[in-house]
Amino acid sequence: MQLQAGWIVGARRVASPHFNQRPDNEIPTLLVIHNISLPPGEFGGPWIDDLFTGTLDPAAHPYFADIAHLRVSAHCLIRRDGEIVQYVPFHLRAWHAGVSCYQGREACNDFSIGIELEGTDTLPYTEAQYAALQAVTRLLTEHYPQIAENITGHSDIAPERKTDPGSAFDWERFREGLETSHSRSSR
């Protein structure tokens, strides 16, 4: 896996208009893991792409009427089958964290990368999702080394508002997979 101009080579690219420049001299130093399903609890379909590109039809589902106006994005989505969809190049600021604080720093969008897992707080994530997330995380830490020590959930940077990636996300499994891969590559 490799990057080209901030995009993952080979990932499905769906360019979002919901991004802007990071503050001057700011590079990503934090990875924020989220989850999303649209409608809630349902997987597949075009709805996440539509939300992140500002084209979600508010009449397509009753839930969408309340969210269709939102201007949000993430850098990537990892679907249930492990497909990686990228919406915003990593060097630019995606609008995923909202009001947030990490280790005393507010406005996490300024210095973070947001990755959404297609899922819910309570349904287990798939093997393919963990593998894809670990691969993307390794790629990001190659380009942005400080991320290796700064990986957190949306619930940790916005605890009053958010619960994702939820109790279903196995942090130990995710981190062990990173360590196992790292020790194999350093032999």
**CA dist., res. 149 & res. 183, Å (int):** 16
Q: At residue 32, what is the residue type?
A: V
d(C-alpha 52, C-alpha 16), whole Å: 6
Are 30 and 113 spatial neighbours (Cβ–Cβ below 8 Å)?
yes
Cα–chain-centroid distance for residue 94?
A: 10
Q: Largest alpha-carbon pair distance within the chain?
A: 55
Asked if 78 and 116 count as a contact pair (C-beta separation under 8 A), the reply is yes
Contact status, residue 33 vs residue 165, Cβ threshold 8 Å: yes
Return d(Cα 7, Cα 164) in angstroms, integer.
25
DSSP character at residue 75: S
Catalytic machinery residues: 116
Asked whether the beta carbons of 48 and 77 are under 8 A apart, the reply is: yes
Residue type, 66: D
